[in-house]
Structure 1
């Protein structure tokens, strides 16, 4: 072979690897080049959940026969869009929202998984309290993650709010059908996520990814979804490692509580239970408006609970996730789990009802938990007594932070560490502006660090008092740890402390700050005051 022939073959191979056209099971898509990666956006992974499909489990999308443009994000689920979400204003809102996005490093060969050459895959589930969020938010731009880590990244849209996380399935019999007939399916938001993972299994090789090497990761409601899917028999084998960031893992409720929420929603929209099918006739934005009223009413009436959340007691979640983990029934796959130091300041700043942050609401939360579960009578006084300044200063919000995020993550790490490799972290880093304002390392603050998605210089408000170079160094370390984990290695990086596994003896925890540090059992006195029993609503 002449050198010219060799060069020609090399060029043809490179073109094949970098082709913007990829074939999925239901049609071909054309993406675009973004710096050092290729991207495909707005790929449907399920049929539009509209009309008779509203409130039903997802099904495969109809095939398309023309080449489909995949250069723009798909519609976001119906919701109230806040300015703070930083979502592209050109992205429409629609019930036809079940799409995903793929970023692949250049050189990721189509079909390479079949010969063992596929890239590791990371699948992201966004947060937003189960009623807000979109893959089109700036923080979730995965091009830097894909390029820096030589991984394929997938981000997933799913149904939110009333359309995804209010369970009307108990109304099916009175509505003239069953959950498998003409009624309602449970946990449709989780079912969307599972369906997306099935799409990854069937299609990601076409984008250069390895379907046998998938890390599922998410934050807030997305992090709790990760834990729920670990506990779901329907998701077994669809992913092989997991990362749960700031996950409210105890905000999963039994069917009686879910049924009361569903009935209350019907009262708000003026529909009798026997006519629940009429929910399909309402405008989706009217459902959003009524859902906002439901959120404030439920979280305000019973502080510490969510109106919209996963439900256990069905085929998706037969049991509460923490029970599954405690009994060793969750898949024994590696897990990273952790929280942020100042989770609750975000909810105070946004005036969100989702987290109780006043003394009255915190104490009401403990009263309601004891009413729901009498074995926790008196737990509130014992726990708040461990916070030296309570109820002064910010301690009510700190109690709420620990009730909603920190302690559930510790309880889950304890359980999983008995059976599988587990690493625990606490994210403490805050820019000078966030420290001065008292916001600190708040909820969702770590997202830009994980994705490397800070705004361009001069446009990121958190750097108003400087701190960008330091934040970029912290981001580089944090991203490198997440990527090492996704590659199947321990989450360690050069020139930083080794991150040991978590166990109930030493409870070694990585503190992510200006410099990483490993601390044994941080805030031990507070953890001991909460105790080993899972304190949560049924």
Structure 2
């Protein structure tokens, strides 16, 4: 039985003892391994259990960051060690006192290609303190290590490795979190971008059923899940980039990880440049971890019957224009290429239907029109398709995050992709020379942040996202009124704010990512 000694904050887990570090009333345990190092014969394989350790594990520092480049669009702490022994997680919790508290497990985003649970913005201390909850942030393999499906190259490689890592981490939570004061029967997963899409995918995976009891999907590109034919094409290109033929696939086990990272980064940029609107690396429908395309699975009633919060940001695609990233089409040319690719994959799609959608964006010749269409295709409509389906059997709450500080409005970023993250964790100013409050707005942002945090933790406690401070009641979404919480300086509950979008796009998923 897992236990904790409150005098020294040493926790006994099934894997071994871990020492924690207190700051005020919150204790952190960082860098806890939840699986064996995925190296050698375990590279490109599903995670396996780690041998228990005998000494007390020092929980002061984060574990290694999953292999990735350091020069990506998201700043990473240069002091972070990059390495393949990356399957670790971190826990923040109130001092153990015998109370069993809800657990919130964070799955970070990063286009399945970058990111880490050690990013400062994901520090769980503030959220654990405010909500009296246990926060867990997890690592999983990113880039080619986690998301290139090499099963077509050799049956010694596994599919959907990144999702398998996430499931393995959730299994660790189920078996170990009680020692940290967490309730294994009350686990909420929450995540953003590819982390949010991981959640909407896991909600349709039989292998993940029962591992979490509530879900919050922020800005989920839920349709960015691809079939085996496309996966085989990506695998073939990956093998070309690493310079190996199919009969030499075993050499991937010993290849320096830096060479794999280099090939991975090329895939991440090359594929969406060739086919705008698609991700280079993403989950694959494999008949096992992912038996069906997730949005279609939701629409057919195959999602887990659990409460869900789902939503997106008002200006999702704006940051991709500033980043000059190919991950989303933000020009009229790339939007046209995206529709051309969809027409190839869906020959039954009537040209008139495509024309009808494009006509709904009169500014499409301009960047603003392309950004709006990409926002809706990539984030807003997938979230609505899921909400429309899930609300027929489970409590579903839909939001749109509209808040932006004056400088973000001036820079035409607005409520761009990932701008809600500091509000959720209560961590502002985590980047060097953070411009967020250069033109003011700190007080208003902190008030918005407090409301979001209270809603998120109330949902973890009770399955209902009440702010508990007199803020607007958040009624559940249904297929009649479609009530949506618009989060801004003052929250508002709006009946069907996306009516025009729904009428334009309809219920059919066109293959957008």
Q: TM-score range by the shorter chain?
A: over 0.9
Q: 1:185 is matched with which residue?
A: 158
Q: 1:510 is matched with which residue?
A: 485
- CA drift of 1:458 comes to 11
Structure 2 CA distance for aligned equivalents of residues 272 and 458 of structure 1:
43
Structure 2 CA distance for aligned equivalents of residues 327 and 232 of structure 1:
14
Structure 1 counterpart of 2:91, from 83, 93, 102 = 102
Q: 2:117 is matched with which residue?
A: 135
Aligned: 1:338 with 2:311: yes
What are the superposed Cα offsets for residues 193-233 of structure 1, whole Å, 9 maximum, x if unpaired? Answer: 00000000000001010000000010000000011111111
Q: How do 1:516-535 and structure 2 match up within 5 A?
A: 516-535=491-510
- CA drift of 1:405 comes to 0.6
Structure 2 CA distance for aligned equivalents of residues 61 and 313 of structure 1:
26
Q: 1:280 is matched with which residue?
A: 253
- CA drift of 1:369 comes to 0.7
Structure 2 counterpart of 1:32, from 2, 21, 36 = 21
Aligned to 1:169, the other structure's residue is in SS state coil
Check conservation: 1:372, 1:537, Cα contact below 8 A: no
- CA drift of 1:84 comes to 5.7
Check conservation: 2:330, 2:367, Cα contact below 8 A: no
Number of residue pairs the alignment of both structures matches: 508
Q: Which has the larger radius of gyration?
A: 1
Structure 2 CA distance for aligned equivalents of residues 129 and 327 of structure 1:
27
Check conservation: 1:359, 1:396, Cα contact below 8 A: yes
Q: Which moved more, 1:303-312 or 1:379-388?
A: 379-388
Q: 1:124 is matched with which residue?
A: 106
Aligned: 1:164 with 2:146: yes
Aligned to 1:343, the other structure's residue is in SS state coil
- CA drift of 1:525 comes to 1.7
What are the superposed Cα offsets for residues 223-273 of structure 1, whole Å, 9 maximum, x if unpaired? Answer: 000111111111110000000000000000111111110001111222112
- CA 1:410–1:486 in 2, change beyond 3 Å: closer, same or farther? same
Aligned: 1:444 with 2:418: yes
- TM-score of the two chains, using structure 2 as the length reference: 0.96
What residue ranges of structure 1 are gaps of 5+ in the alignment? 1-14, 173-177
Check conservation: 2:307, 2:463, Cα contact below 8 A: no
Aligned to 1:170, the other structure's residue is in SS state coil
What are the superposed Cα offsets for residues 135-166 of structure 1, whole Å, 9 maximum, x if unpaired? Answer: 11111001000010000000000000000000
- CA drift of 1:313 comes to 2.3
What are the superposed Cα offsets for residues 279-311 of structure 1, whole Å, 9 maximum, x if unpaired? Answer: 222211111111111122211111111111000
Check conservation: 1:387, 1:526, Cα contact below 8 A: no
- CA 1:457–1:295 in 2, change beyond 3 Å: closer, same or farther? closer
- CA drift of 1:191 comes to 0.2
Structure 2 counterpart of 1:241, from 214, 217, 222 = 214
Aligned: 1:147 with 2:121: no
Q: Which moved more, 1:388-397 or 1:244-253?
A: 388-397
Q: How do 1:365-444 and structure 2 match up within 5 A?
A: 365-378=338-351, 379-444=353-418
- CA drift of 1:324 comes to 1.6
Q: Which moved more, 1:510-519 or 1:324-333?
A: 324-333
- CA drift of 1:386 comes to 1.0
Q: 1:12 is matched with which residue?
A: none
- CA 1:321–1:296 in 2, change beyond 3 Å: closer, same or farther? same
What are the superposed Cα offsets for residues 431-474 of structure 1, whole Å, 9 maximum, x if unpaired? Answer: 00000110100100000000001128996421000000000000
Structure 2 CA distance for aligned equivalents of residues 188 and 393 of structure 1:
36
Check conservation: 1:135, 1:157, Cα contact below 8 A: yes
Structure 2 CA distance for aligned equivalents of residues 34 and 244 of structure 1:
30
Aligned: 1:199 with 2:181: no
Structure 2 CA distance for aligned equivalents of residues 186 and 468 of structure 1:
44
Structure 1 CA distance for aligned equivalents of residues 162 and 395 of structure 2:
28
Check conservation: 1:75, 1:91, Cα contact below 8 A: yes
Aligned: 1:465 with 2:439: yes
- CA drift of 1:393 comes to 4.6
Check conservation: 1:81, 1:132, Cα contact below 8 A: no
Structure 1 counterpart of 2:184, from 211, 223, 232 = 211
Check conservation: 1:86, 1:138, Cα contact below 8 A: no
What residue ranges of structure 2 are gaps of 5+ in the alignment? none
Aligned: 1:56 with 2:45: yes
Structure 1 counterpart of 2:323, from 347, 350, 359 = 350
Q: 1:75 is matched with which residue?
A: 64
- CA 1:29–1:252 in 2, change beyond 3 Å: closer, same or farther? same
Aligned to 1:89, the other structure's residue is in SS state coil
User: Root-mean-square deviation (CA), in Å?
Assistant: 1.7
Structure 2 CA distance for aligned equivalents of residues 24 and 102 of structure 1:
13
Q: 2:461 is matched with which residue?
A: 487
Check conservation: 2:331, 2:367, Cα contact below 8 A: no
Check conservation: 1:452, 1:475, Cα contact below 8 A: yes
Q: 1:10 is matched with which residue?
A: none
